[in-house]
């Protein structure tokens, strides 16, 4: 039965690639496919899949579960990057959300629902702070969000009093560790967030607004777009996405670790968005591409663990794969490659 599922997996992947041909998401999907193929050939046990404790158990399931944080951050960042901005503070916002939720449960004895709400409100406030600096005070996004990237972790530390706050709450635990239909519950969260974001941006004019503002803010304002408001709320959205990711991170280990939660994860998420086809110059975004890019990043990390590559040097192969994925995404590079292969074609 195992080999059956294995075959179906590859057929589905191939079908996905075929369906995506000619679209931007094809390239990160191809990179992911090549990385999985590498694992098929060289990593023993990578494709093992079994049912344990009533749910699926295997490396690919781990990738979906651990990758959920990068996927969520990637969704928020994709929209921010589409407006020509960037949000470096999402890792710190994750730490704040986790800290607020843990302290709401442990110190304030709130119900899990209220704790989650408090964490999301805190994350939205963090996003609103960024939005205020960028959209209203016109501070360059890389500087504006750097402020919270640095200060946010301090705020999270203040909330936890410098300690790791451990909690036993089953609801928050379910968010990070639970199983739904045999798959990690985090996957459901990601798909819901993706569905909502896609609906809001692609079924309404909002996506066009965001892209227009990213292309030229002045021109879009002259055409009557509420450029500032849109920008502001894009940062709030990114903050909320980071808040959900922070809740997942805390739930996953049943504790809020303000020092380390989401540390450097903003970089993985930015790479995920860029590998997914979203241009750092703004003006274009691909939500599905960001999800595939995030899966690529997580697959890469997990592959290096599975191959037992020493952490001292693991960053080098990681960087090489990311470089290859970025090159695959670059139309200029692809054009050059095909030109060289067929010199006769004019």
Name the residues that contact other proteins, by CB under 8 A: 44-46, 48, 52-53, 57-59, 62, 66, 161-164, 166, 177, 249, 252-255, 257, 259-261, 301-302, 305-306, 308, 310-312
Whichever of 31 and 165 has its CB closer to other proteins, that residue is 165
Put residue 282 in one of left, alpha, beta given phi > 0 → left and psi -120 to 50 → alpha: left
**Six-digit token string for 195:** 């569905």
For residues 214 and 283, the answer to whether their CB atoms sit within 8 Å is yes
Q: Min. distance of Cβ 340 from other proteins in angstroms?
A: 38
Nearer to other proteins, 65 or 78 (CB): 65
The least CB distance from residue 325 to other proteins, in Å, is: 21
CB of 342 to other proteins, least distance (A): 42
- Please identify, using beta-carbon distances, which residue of 204 and 315 lies nearer to other proteins: 315
Neighbours of 128 (CB within 10 A): 16
What distance in Å separates the CA atoms of residue 20 and residue 30, rounded to the nearest whole number?
A: 10
Q: How far is the CB of 181 from other proteins (least distance, A)?
A: 17
Q: Please state the closest distance from residue 27 (CB atom) to other proteins, in A.
A: 27
* DSSP calls for 117-164: HHHHHHHHHHHHHHHIIIIIS---HHHHHHHHHHHHHHHHHHHHTTSP
The whole-angstrom distance between residue 89's C-alpha and the CA centroid of its chain comes to 13
Cβ closer to other proteins: 167 or 209?
167
For 292, phi and psi rounded to 5 degrees?
A: -65, -40
Strand extents, DSSP E, the chain: 49-52, 55-58, 165-166, 179-180, 183-184, 255-256
Q: Which is nearer to other proteins, 43 or 279 (CB)?
A: 43
Least separation, in Å, of the C-beta of 82 and other proteins?
29
Whose Cβ is closer to other proteins: residue 58's or residue 76's?
Answer: 58
């Amino acid at each position: 039965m195992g080999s059956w599922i294995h075959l179906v997996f590859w057929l589905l992947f191939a079908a996905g690639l075929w369906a995506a041909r000619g679209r931007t998401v094809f390239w990160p999907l191809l990179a992911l496919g090549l990385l999985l193929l590498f694992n098929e050939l060289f990593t023993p046990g990578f494709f093992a899949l079994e049912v344990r404790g009533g749910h699926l158990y295997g490396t690919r399931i781990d990738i979906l579960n651990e990758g959920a944080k990068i996927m969520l951050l990637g969704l928020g960042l994709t929209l921010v990057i589409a407006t020509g901005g960037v949000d470096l503070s999402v890792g710190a916002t994750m730490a704040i959300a986790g800290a607020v939720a843990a302290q709401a449960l442990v110190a304030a004895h709130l119900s899990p629902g209220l704790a989650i709400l408090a964490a999301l409100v805190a994350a939205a406030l963090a996003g609103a702070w960024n939005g205020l600096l960028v959209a209203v005070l016109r501070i360059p996004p890389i500087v504006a969000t750097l402020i919270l990237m640095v200060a946010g972790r301090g705020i999270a530390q203040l909330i936890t009093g410098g300690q790791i706050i451990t909690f036993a709450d089953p609801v928050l635990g379910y968010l990070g560790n639970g199983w739904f239909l045999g798959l990690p519950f985090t996957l459901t969260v990601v798909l819901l967030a993706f569905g909502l974001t896609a609906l809001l941006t692609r079924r309404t004019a909002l996506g066009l607004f965001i892209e227009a503002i990213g292309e030229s803010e002045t021109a879009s304002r002259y055409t009557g777009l509420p450029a500032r408001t849109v920008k502001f709320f894009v940062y709030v959205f990114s903050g909320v996405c980071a808040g959900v990711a922070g809740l997942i991170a805390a739930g996953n280990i049943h504790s809020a670790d303000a020092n380390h939660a989401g540390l450097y994860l903003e970089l993985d998420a930015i790479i995920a968005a860029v590998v997914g086809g979203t241009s750092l110059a703004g003006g274009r975004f691909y939500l599905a591409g960001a999800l595939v890019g995030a899966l690529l990043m997580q697959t890469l990390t997990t592959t290096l663990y599975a191959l037992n590559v020493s952490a001292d040097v693991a960053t080098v192969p990681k960087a090489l794969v990311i470089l290859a994925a970025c090159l695959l995404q670059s139309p200029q590079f692809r054009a050059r490659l095909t030109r060289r292969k067929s010199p006769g074609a004019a």
